[in-house]
Amino acid sequence: ITNKEDREQGLAIVAWARNNRRGINEHLRHPYPSYFSVMLLARAGFPNQAREALYSSNRAGGEDPTNLNELRHAALGHIALLQGQTAKAISLLNEGFRGIHGDMIPQYFLTADTLARAYETQGRQQAALEVLEQASRERSQIVDSAAGAYLIWD
């Protein structure tokens, strides 16, 4: 990948899939302004970097406008969960999960996984299972066309 920002974000995805927190932080040290970077940083446990990436993403406005509100909600939900605000996180993650579509495949599956974890935190295993089942049904429809889904979901 010749674009440095895309390469770094791709390497951060690989680091996340390998549960390598340090690698995520290293590759997103100067994050490409995207809500996906926010999500990855929050999931890796870096609240300050996630908020910084959120601020950059809000200012940059370079993402697909059809999914922008949903991506922002999902990113905010990831941060809220990291901060222990589970009810707020579930509300925001649900908005993102229901609205992310199109070519936002890694964001969709990461949000599904985080939403399920938030439900589990509240002891709502059935709700967590329903989210994961819905994402699994989606996966079967799109996995052939998206290498990112393999990294995120397998």
d(CA 4, CA 128): 36
Contact 40, 152 (CB under 8 A): no
Is residue 52's pLDDT more than 80? yes
Taking a C-beta distance cutoff of 8 angstroms, is the pair 79, 35 a contact? no
Helix axis angle, 68-82 to 47-60, nearest 10°: 160
- Average of per-residue pLDDT values in the chain: 82
> In this predicted model, what pLDDT tens digit does every residue of 3-34 receive, in sequence order?
787 888 888 888 888 889 888 888 887 766 68
Q: How far is CA 127 from CA 3, 27, 52, 113, in A?
A: 39, 33, 31, 12
pLDDT reported for residue 55: 84
Which pLDDT value is given to residue 8?
A: 85
DSSP code for 33: S
